[in-house]
Structures are given as structure tokens and as C-alpha cells.
Amino acid sequence: MKKQLIISSMVTLSIIFLFNLSLHSQGDWQWARSFTGYDGSITYLPNNITRSVFDSYGNIYIAGNIGDDVKFNNQEQLSTDPKMRNSGLILAKLDNNGNLLWRKTIRSTECISNTYWMDIVGDTSIVLFANSYGPKESEDSLLYLDTLIVGLSPNPILNKMPKGGLDCFISFDLNGNKQNEVFIQHKQIYTQGNESDYQIFEAISTIPFVIDYYGNTYFCVTPFIPQKMDTLKLLINNNKEYSYKVGDIQDNAFMLKFNSNFDLIWIKEIIKDTFCLGDGNSSLIFNPEISSISKDNDKDNCIYLTGAIQKVRESDTNFYMEMDLGSNQKLKFNDIGWGSVGFTIKYDSSGNAVWANQIYGEKRFYPITPSFYNYSTSVVNSKINQTNEYLYIIGEAGYCTSYSQNGERIIDTTAFKLFFDDSTQLILEIDSLSDYTTSNVFFAKLNIQTGKYISHGKIKCNLKNSNIYQNDIPIILHNNQVFTHAFYWGYLNGVRENYYIGKGRAGLALVRWKENGELIEAINIPVYNDISSVHSGNAILRNNGDLFVTGTYKKNITFGDNVLSGSNAWANVYMAKYNDISFVHPYGIGIESISTNKGENLLIYPNPTKNIVNIESKGEIINSYTLYNIGGQTIIKSEKLKVKSEKLDLSNLPKGVYIIKVRTEKNVYSHKVIKN
């Protein structure tokens, strides 16, 4: 008997091992598409995709920027009008197989345009946030919609633009028909009394927005302020004007809220006040850079900002600063070693800070190099989980692994430390002590009510990039997994394989963690091996395991059997779909089905079945069950049962394979059910 038990245990362990092995790299690249353009000197904006979104049917919507002589997949012409000689906006719809269904282009006769953000609202409307900007000395210009599609006739004219620039929200239905448009012109009045009609928003950046259940629109901006601004003025559609008296903080960011009619509800300054100690604090300049604004399914209609505080170099060893966010919330900086500090702030719907979270740092002070940035962090995106309990943030962190003393390089990987809170250190992975610095992508799980740190994961690669072509840095939550589409330099440390593409070379990868921080896998994407030749963009995931990614590349890039070719310049955009059935269900849940001990406590029969399936538990109370099709869509769901047995009627469902997930008071079980 003892021998039989040993054999049984070995078989069980083998099954578990094979199951876990099968969870890695089950997917494949199903298709890849591109749009490429003028192969020459790009002086302003290349082709790129700022944002991509799935609708409920699996169609994909993309929004970004478009240059000259652009073709979709090296075949269909997207831009042909010689009059439209400046960069413009593109909005397009692809089906789930990558076929181009329609596209809309917005360009100006004189001005340069840029896509800030795009999203789908209620699965019925597409909202595009963009700007158009021309030199102050230029004449008034015309902004066209669809000129490149319907011919050379300017049909229709969206707006006669004033000198300077403006921002616009334009809504479309899912077939690309324009529904509405709102234009925002902005002016700055300085303390000297002079006025500027330049746009206040950065011309080359992404500015995310969110629209809540009531149709209110929130977005956050960082004005370009060459001198002290006294008043900020907004003119909406040439008929509504709002003025806001700016506080004493010269370098600041602002959050704005508009109602569904685009009446301004409020403007809030992010930094209310500062308190600073140190010998040289008068020369300090702090620039809050807002990287994302999110709401998702927050039940309290709260808003979450992420970003980083940038600091001009300072050598004062006694430096200390507090930034007052209002409502007794502060960001604190007590060490001179930082170049930027990543933060997350939660606001209520009235714009009041609820809590603030930041990445802390610590360095030893070496008089030989007092002004050198020794560590830097940034938080670039956030996402709320489905149960509305946790906020996940993603960012990049880096620090020096050595310092110079008396002309000699001293290796010391413990000289600089990063912390999520008072007790939890973010220890970065280092793959080679030949590098002077190391940089990791990290995600962290926070309590959504308090902002307190819970857990984190990381990987050795470089994510955030200061290059202007970098757009949305994604974080995806699905079941108990966290995903991102990462850009890295030189090294990528995976689970079963590490990738080295050469020092100073750029690469791309798909990265997947468990929610507790365990790295599941890192999938390398082969690219033309040239310095700064690629940049990652968006990543979005459907419940059926479809993962769609975008970015830019040079010369060529490979997605499985799909090879995209392009120009030698910054004029190539990639779009690719990856599918992995293991994305559909919680990672590792199949072990519970295989485990003999747990399996004995749950019976599902008959299986296969023609109509009725019985669910019976032994010694455990069944709280809920969910039936999924093979694509991961929920077919039947029942909650708050508190029973020991249940009958499930499949008579109205088509024949096929289904997955049933049963949650008891003690365990979660997942089983395959076959309907004959």
C-alpha cells in the first residue's frame, strides 16, 4: 500500500508540473499589421498610435498621428492629399482579424495636430481628444475632417482655427460618423499683465481623460509656463469663457472637470503649497508630470492620478520638502539623491485629495559626486481590479550600482534604496555589475481605500522612455494576472530564458505576473537590432485571451510567423494580436481540479451531459458558480447560494466544451464540462 501511495503522489506531481508548464507560452501571434510612411527626416511627429480600445464585439479602434504618404500594411493608401502637408490625426476601426473597416483623418492646412487620447463610452460612442497648433505669426487656418478620404474638397470644415492653437473633443459613433465637437481655446495672463494665446498643454504628449457615469469629463494638464502665470482663461466653442486665478506655484499641474454640456465644474491645482528646508532651495524647480488619470469601475466615482515629480539637480545635504495636496494629504521628499519620485493620488468627484502614495528613496551621500542623480522612480499607469478592492500601479524604478571615489569606481549595490512604505523595500534586479545603473519595471498592489502597499512584482528591463514617441504605458488586470507590453534596453530577464540583445540595443516583450508578484513569463518580440529602433505602445486584452499590442519600429519586426517590413526612419507603426487560452482563467487554478484531496469534495456529473449537470459538495458550502464558454465569456452565473448541491440546466446551450468555476467557503474549483 505504501508503495502505491508513493506512485500516486508522483503521478499527481507530474500532472501538476505538466499543467504548470502548459500555462507558459500556449499562445501564438495570429496576425500583425502596420502603417508606414515617408522614409526621410521626421522633424516633428512620426506615425504612431496613441490609444487602442476593444468594443464588446472584438473590433479594435485605434487613434494616433499620421504623416505623409502613409500606407496600411504596405498596400492601402491612407494619406494622398498634397495640400495637407502637416501631421494630422487618424481614427480607424479594425475587425478581430485585422481587416481595416474604416478610417477618419483630421488635418489642417497650416497647423500640426496631435492625438492626446481616445476612448469608447458606453459601447456606443468614440471620443477623441486632440490638439492642433500653428505658429503665432501664421494666418488663420482650416481644420478638415475626412479630406484625405473623400478627395481634395474640404468636406466638412471642423473649425476655422485662430492663431496659436486649441484643443478639441470630437465624438463619433462606432461607424465613424461625427456626432459632436467641442473646441477649447486657452490663454495665459502673466503677472506683468501681458497675455499669451499659445496652447497651455504640451504639444507632444498624451493627456488621458475619463468620462464618468453622469457624462462628466475629467482630464489633467501641465501648462507650459515660461514665466509666472497669474490667470488661466478657457474659451469653449467661442461662446463660454472661464477664468481661474492661479496660485503661487509656478510649475504645477491642473485637473479639470466638465459636465456633459462642457460647462466647467471646477479646476484644481495639484500642488496647493510647498514647505522647503535647505540651503539652496530657492533655485529648485519641481515639475509634476501627470502620466495617467483613471476611474474604471470605482464604486465611489473617485479619480486616480499617477505621475512623477521631476527635480532640478541640487546638492544640498539638508534638503527636505513637503508638497501640500490639500485635505491633509502630502508628498514628502527628504533626500537629495532623487531625479524623480513616482506618486499616486486618489481624488473624490469634487477634486479633493483622499490619499497619496509615493515611492520613497534613500542614498548615502558621497562628497565626490554630490549632485548626481542616484535613483529615480515614476508611476505611469493604474488600474482598478474587478472587485473594486485594489488599485494596481505600474512604473519604472532605477538606481546606481556604483559610485566614484578618488577616481576609482566603487561597486556597491546597497548604496541606494527604494521603499514602498516604511518596511517594504523595492530591491531591483541586477544582471551585470558592468553596468553603472539598473532599471526595473514594477507593479504594485494598493488598498483602494487607504492607498497602503500590499504586494508588488518586477522585471529587469526599461519601460518608461523620455523619447517623444513613447505613448501609453499599459497595465492589464485579468483574473489573478497582471500584464504589460514592455520596452527594454539590452537585457530582459525572463523565467526560463534571459534575453541579451546587446548593450544599448532596444527590444520589446510581453510580460505577465501573478497578482502576488511572481513572474509567470516574459515573451521576447524579435526586432531589427538597432539602437532606439523600437518603442512599445498600448496593450489591451479581451476575456477570450486576445491581446492586442501597438508601437513603433524601424526596418522590420517579427510576431511569430508574421514579419512586418518598413522604412529606415521613424515612420512605421505595428499592430499585432496574440491569443493565449491560459489568459482566460486564473493562473494555476487547474491544480485545484487535479488535486485528489480537493477534488473529492466536489462532484460534477454527468459529464458529458445532454442537459442537466449536478454540482455536489462534500463538507463545503457552495457560495457561487460561473459557467464560461471556451472563449471566456460568461454564460451562466449564480451567486449567494449557500447550498451543498445545485442543478445546472444546459439544455438551451449549443453543443461544445464549457468551463465551470465553483466557489465554496474554502476553495475555488474549475472543471471542464462537455455538452453533447
Compute CA distances 42 → 107, 234, 550, whole Å.
17, 32, 20
**What pLDDT does 547 receive?**
94
Grid cell, residue 651, equals: 439544455
Res. 60: pLDDT tops 90: yes
Alpha-carbon gap, residue 347 to 351, rounded angstroms: 5
Q: What is the pLDDT of residue 413?
A: 73
The answer, yes or no, to whether residue 472 has pLDDT greater than 90, is no
DSSP 420-488: SSSS-B-PPP-S-TTSSEEEEEEEEEEETTT--EEEEEEEES-----STT------EEETTEEEEEEEE
Closest C-alpha to 86, from 152, 146, 132: 132
Residue 318 has what pLDDT?
A: 61
Quick one: pLDDT at residue 144?
Answer: 57
Band (pLDDT 50/70/90 cuts) for residue 172 is very high
**Yes or no: is domain 601-675 CATH 3.40.50.1470?**
no
Higher local confidence (pLDDT), 566 or 86: 566
Cβ proximity of 319 and 312 under 8 Å:
no
| Average pLDDT score over residue span 436-447 | 87
| pLDDT tens profile 318-347 | 667 788 999 999 988 766 666 788 899 999
The pLDDT of 68-74, averaged and rounded, is 77
Top-confidence residue, 252 or 144: 252
DSSP letter at 566 equals -
Q: How confident is the model at residue 525 (pLDDT cuts 50, 70, 90)?
A: confident
Q: Is the pLDDT of residue 90 over 70?
A: yes
pLDDT at position 308 is 87
pLDDT score of 85 more than 60: no
pLDDT at 84 over 80: no
Instruction: Report pLDDT for 304.
Output: 93
- Selection from 40-54, 359-373, 536-550, 580-594 with the highest mean pLDDT: 536-550
- pLDDT of residue 22 exceeding 50, the answer is no
390 confidence band (pLDDT: 50, 70, 90): very high
149 pLDDT higher than 70: no
The whole-angstrom separation of Cα 431 and Cα 148 is 49
As a three-state string, the secondary structure of 126-187 is: EEEEEEEECCCCCCCEEEEECHHHHCCCCCCEEEEECCCEEEEEEEEECCCCEEEEEEEEEE
Q: In whole angstroms, how far apart are CA 603 and each of 606, 630, 643, 667? A: 9, 21, 14, 14
- Which string of b and e fits 242-280 if b means at least 16 CB within 10 Å? bebebeebebbbbbbbbeeeeebeebbbbbbebeeebee
**Taking 50 as the threshold, does the pLDDT of residue 78 lie above it?**
yes
**Composition of the chain by helix, strand, coil, percent to 5:** 5, 50, 40
Is the pLDDT at 3 greater than 60? The verdict is no
Judge contact between 305 and 357, C-beta under 8 A: no
97 pLDDT above the threshold of 90: yes
Q: CB within 8 A of 422, min separation 6: which ones?
A: none
pLDDT of residue 305: 92
Looking at every residue in the chain, the average pLDDT score rounds to 76
Q: Which three cell numbers stand for residue 546?
A: 486576445
For residues 105 and 137, what is the distance between their CA atoms, to the nearest angstrom?
26
Q: Spell 110-129 as b/e; 16+ CB within 10 A means b.
A: bbbbbbbbbbbeeeeebbbb
Least confident range of 209-213, 317-321, 366-370, 557-561: 366-370
CB 592 within 8 Å of CB 604: no
Q: For 606-611, which contacts have Cβ atoms below 8 Å and span 24 or more sequence positions? A: 607/671, 607/673, 607/674, 608/673, 608/674, 608/675, 608/676, 609/650, 609/673, 609/674, 609/675, 609/676, 610/650, 610/651, 610/675, 610/676, 611/649, 611/650, 611/651
Cis before residue 606, ω within 30 degrees of 0? yes
Split at pLDDT 50, 70, 90, the class of 498 is confident
State the pLDDT at residue 42: 44
Rounded mean pLDDT, 315-320: 60
Lowest mean pLDDT among 368-372, 389-393, 569-573, 582-586: 368-372
Burial of 131 per CB tally in 10 Å (0-12, 13-18, 19+): buried
Contacts of 264 (CB under 8 A, 6+ apart): 234, 236, 240, 242, 256, 257, 258
536 pLDDT exceeds 90? no
Which residue is associated with the grid cell 494596481?
A: 392
In this predicted structure, the answer to whether residue 593 has a pLDDT above a threshold of 50 is no
Q: What's the rounded Cα separation, in Å, for the pair 279 and 26?
A: 58
State the Cα–Cα distance between residues 633 and 544, nearest whole angstrom. 7
Task: Write b or e for each residue in 142-166: b if 16 or more Cβ atoms lie within 10 A of its Cβ, otherwise e.
Answer: bbbbbbbbeeeebeeebbebebbbb
Nearest to 257 by CA among 194, 228, 215: 215
**pLDDT over 70 (residue 441):** yes
Taking 70 as the threshold, does the pLDDT of residue 532 lie above it?
no
Q: What is the pLDDT of residue 488?
A: 80
156 upstream amide cis, omega within 30 of 0 = yes
- Residue 197's pLDDT band (cuts 50, 70, 90): low
Per residue in 271-288, pLDDT tens?
Answer: 888 777 655 444 445 667
**Cα Rg of the chain (Å, integer):** 27
DSSP output for 183-206: EEEEEEEETTS-EE-S-SS-SSS-
* Sign (positive or negative) of CA dihedral 223, 226, 228, 232: negative
Q: Percentage of residues in the chain with pLDDT exceeding 90? A: 22
Kindly report which listed range (26-40, 120-134, 192-206) carries the lowest average pLDDT score.
192-206
| Rounded Cα–Cα distance for residues 459 and 486 (Å) | 10
- Residue 103 has a pLDDT of 87
